[in-house]
Amino acid sequence: MRIEVLKSKIHRAKITQAELHYVGSITIDEDLMDAANFIEGEKVTVVNVNNGERLETYVIKGERGSGMVCLNGPAARKAQVGDIVIIISYASMKFEKAKKFKPTIIFPTPDNKLP
What is the sign, positive or negative, of the torsion defined by CA atoms of 21, 23, 29, 33? positive
Active-site positions read 25, 58
DSSP secondary-structure letter at 53? -
Give 35's DSSP letter: H
